[in-house]
A = this chain, B = another copy of it.
Amino acid sequence: MKKNSKSYASRKNMRPATIPDMGRCRVVIESVKPEIDGGRFAAKRAVEEQMTVEADIFADGHDAVCALLLYRKEETRRWTETRMQPLVNDRWRGTFELNEPGSYFYTLQGWVDGFESWRQAFAKKVDAGQDVTLDLLSGAELVGLAANRASGEDRKLLTRFEVGFRSESSAAIELALDDELTALMKEYPDRRWATTYDKELRLSVERSKARFSTWYELFPRSCASSASKHGTFRDCENRLPYVAGMGFDVLYLPPIHPIGRSFRKGKNNSLVTDPADVGSPWAIGAKEGGHKAIHPELGSLEDFKRLVTKAKEFGLELALDIAFQCTPDHPYVKQHAEWFRKRADGSIQYAENPPKKYQDIYPLDFESERWEELWNELKSVMLFWCEQGVRIFRVDNPHTKPFPFWEWVITEVKEQYPDALFLAEAFTRPKVMYRLAKLGFSQSYTYFAWRNTKSELTQYFTELTQTDVADFFRANLWPNTPDILTEYLQFGGRSAFMTRLILAATLGANYGIYGPAFELGENLPREPGSEEYLNSEKYEIKDWDLDKPDSLKELIARVNRIRRENRALQNDRSLRFHAMDNPEIIAFSKRTEDRRNVLVVVVNLDPHHTQSGWADLSAEELGVDPQQPYQMHDLLTDARYLWHGTRNYVQLNPQSVPAQIFRVRHRMRREQDFDYFM
Whole-angstrom distance between the alpha carbons of A371 and B193 in the complex? 14
In this complex, which of A7, A14, A376, A402 has the most chain B Cβ atoms within 10 angstroms of its Cβ? A402
Asked whether A435 is an interface residue with its Cβ less than 8 Å from the other chain, the reply is: yes
Contact code string A51-87 (vs B, CB < 8 Å = 1, else 0)? 0000010101110000000000010000000000000
Q: Which one of B5, B344, B430 contacts A138 once the chains associate, using CB atoms below 8 Å?
A: B344
Query: What's the minimum C-beta distance from A144 to chain B, rounded to whole angstroms?
Result: 12
Interface residue stretch chosen among A280-288, A403-411, A613-621? A403-411
- Chain A residues 74-128 with CB under 8 Å of chain B are 74, 89-90, 105, 120-122, 124-125, 127-128
Q: Which one of B38, B134, B367, B407 contacts A344 once the chains associate, using CB atoms below 8 Å?
A: B134
Q: Assuming the A-B contacts A1-B373, A23-B367, A375-B23, are A121 and B15 also in contact, with contact meaning beta carbons closer than 8 angstroms in the complex?
A: no
B432 pairs with A355, CB closer than 8 A? no
Question: How many residues of A sit at the interface, in one of the four size bands?
Answer: 35 or more
Asked whether A25 is an interface residue with its Cβ less than 8 Å from the other chain, the reply is: yes
Q: Which one of B14, B58, B127, B402 contacts A60 once the chains associate, using CB atoms below 8 Å?
A: B402
Q: Assuming the A-B contacts A12-B202, A13-B40, A352-B121, are A430 and B89 also in contact, with contact meaning beta carbons closer than 8 angstroms in the complex?
A: yes
Query: What's the minimum C-beta distance from A283 to chain B, rounded to whole angstroms?
Result: 20
Asked whether A609 is an interface residue with its Cβ less than 8 Å from the other chain, the reply is: no
Asked whether A175 is an interface residue with its Cβ less than 8 Å from the other chain, the reply is: no
Whole-angstrom distance between the alpha carbons of A374 and B229 in the complex? 90
Whole-angstrom distance between the alpha carbons of A412 and B354 in the complex? 60
A40 pairs with B15, CB closer than 8 A? yes
Which residues does chain B contribute within 8 Å of A124, judged by CB atoms? 354-355
Asked whether A24 is an interface residue with its Cβ less than 8 Å from the other chain, the reply is: yes
A127 pairs with B429, CB closer than 8 A? no
Which residues does chain B contribute within 8 Å of A431, judged by CB atoms? 30, 56, 58, 89-90
A12 pairs with B432, CB closer than 8 A? no
Query: What's the minimum C-beta distance from A25 to chain B, rounded to whole angstroms?
Result: 7
Whole-angstrom distance between the alpha carbons of A372 and B21 in the complex? 10
CB-CB nearest in chain B for A30: B37
Which residues does chain B contribute within 8 Å of A128, judged by CB atoms? 354-355
Q: Which one of B11, B23, B353, B411 contacts A371 once the chains associate, using CB atoms below 8 Å?
A: B23
A4 pairs with B412, CB closer than 8 A? yes
Query: What's the minimum C-beta distance from A425 to chain B, rounded to whole angstroms?
Result: 14
Contact code string A8-19 (vs B, CB < 8 Å = 1, else 0)? 100111110010
Asked whether A22 is an interface residue with its Cβ less than 8 Å from the other chain, the reply is: yes
CB-CB nearest in chain B for A128: B355
B11 pairs with A411, CB closer than 8 A? yes
Q: Which one of B12, B138, B354 contacts A200 once the chains associate, using CB atoms below 8 Å?
A: B12
CB-CB nearest in chain B for A201: B13
Interface contacts beyond A26-B403, A89-B429: sample of 18 additional A-B pairs, CB < 8 Å, sorted by A: A7-B415, A12-B74, A15-B40, A22-B402, A24-B367, A24-B402, A26-B402, A58-B429, A60-B400, A61-B399, A61-B401, A62-B400, A90-B431, A122-B354, A125-B355, A128-B355, A137-B345, A138-B344
Interchain residue pairs A-B with the least CB separation, the first 3:
A137-B344, A128-B355, A1-B372
The 22 sampled A-B contact pairs (Cβ below 8 Å) are A1-B373, A4-B408, A8-B408, A15-B40, A22-B402, A24-B367, A24-B371, A25-B402, A26-B402, A28-B403, A38-B39, A58-B429, A58-B431, A60-B399, A60-B401, A62-B400, A90-B429, A120-B354, A122-B354, A125-B355, A128-B354, A137-B345
Chain A residues with a Cβ under 8 A of chain B: 1, 4-5, 7-8, 11-15, 18, 22-26, 28, 30-31, 37-40, 56, 58, 60-62, 74, 89-90, 105, 120-122, 124-125, 127-128, 130, 134-135, 137-138, 141, 193, 199-200, 202, 343-345, 352-355, 366-367, 371-373, 375-376, 399-405, 407-408, 411-412, 415, 429-432, 435
